[in-house]
Structure 1
């Protein structure tokens, strides 16, 4: 997927017969889907711009109707697609909150500036997120809590962690 597009939802199935779709919101703030007027569907490398005409949320699931989709047969072709927005249209986040795509790839160091590895991915779990740090074929897991994650600097492209919280 193009780095300019950020996934905000995944189409899981059709809903009803008028072309509505059930979408799994990929944000920890699903209400943001209600404030988006246009979105991009990406499936099998094909990009399609769509206009949201209706969005109803229930927890992290949304029922969405697109202006361009008016039948179940049209909607079926979108099942399995990622719904994305352009990077420059992302909402601003409060202080000390980050988009995952901005964190992945950052170098991870302990408080003595010893390199631990590079952030490979972030697991979004019910209790808290977990940072997966990779160095060679070794992975170290850090809970994404203030006690373990001491500093994040997007500008310096680094994360400082308390090594004592790491689990291999």
Structure 2
């Protein structure tokens, strides 16, 4: 199975290094020196990682045969793709690869159908499930323990307990002003 593990960004310096947008939870495994990655577009690769380092919070890679800024800049926006054994599982029991989560049915605890996971977006603070609902609309579900209560790969489903307003329009809106108005009606001011 092939998985996108990174996207090449801009060139860094003049010696062929590039920044990369990491799209894997295991960059040390997938993006280490010696790794051979296929590419999209295919004409850019395959690429073999020569060196890698972190600079100012960004991963920088240099590929074999890429020696100057011009060659590095030509790789911009290229996707890096790793071959992954589809039966391989992450080391931690509560971690999942994206391919394991794609197409899972999303349901509420009572079994009510919400939709199907069509995409997983990796943000700095958390991951999001993009869920296609039966009516064709999409909803974003944060992949956090408080909301996604169970992943059952055998049954091919994700059970969620969404807060009000996440998957429907019935959000509960509370404000301090509403609370004050309720308090004032209990204790009307003295008449003058």
What TM-score comes out, normalization by structure 2 length? 0.71
Runs of 4+ residues over 6 Å off in structure 1: none
Q: Which residue matches 1:105?
A: 103
Higher strand share: 1
Distance 1:5 1:47, change over 3 A: farther
- Indicate conservation of the 8 Å contact 1:131/1:144, yes or no: yes
What TM-score comes out, normalization by structure 1 length? 0.80
Q: Which residue matches 1:96?
A: 94
- Indicate conservation of the 8 Å contact 1:54/1:64, yes or no: yes
Q: Which residue matches 1:18?
A: 15
Unpaired stretches in structure 2, ≥5 consecutive residues: 169-192
Within-5 A mapping of 1:129-168: 129-135=127-133, 136-164=135-163, 166-168=166-168
d(CA) in 2 for partners of 1:120 and 1:128? 17
Within-5 A mapping of 1:13-92: 13-32=10-29, 35=32, 37-46=34-43, 48-58=45-55, 61-88=58-85, 92=90
- Indicate conservation of the 8 Å contact 1:41/1:83, yes or no: yes
Unpaired stretches in structure 1, ≥5 consecutive residues: none
Distance 1:61 1:33, change over 3 A: farther
In the TM superposition, what is the alpha-carbon distance from 1:95 to its structure 2 partner?
0.9
d(CA) in 1 for partners of 2:50 and 2:128? 36
Q: Tell me the alpha carbon deviations over residues 15-65 of structure 1, each in whole angstroms, 9 at most, x when there is no partner.
A: 222222222222345444553522324233436222212100236522211
d(CA) in 1 for partners of 2:72 and 2:64? 11
Which range moved further: 124-133 or 107-116?
124-133
Q: Which has the larger radius of gyration?
A: 2
Structure with the larger RCO, 1 or 2 (CA within 8 Å, 6+ apart): 1
RMSD of aligned alpha carbons: 2.7
Q: Tell me the alpha carbon deviations over residues 117-164 of structure 1, each in whole angstroms, 9 at most, x when there is no partner.
A: 101223333443232221222333333222221211223221111255
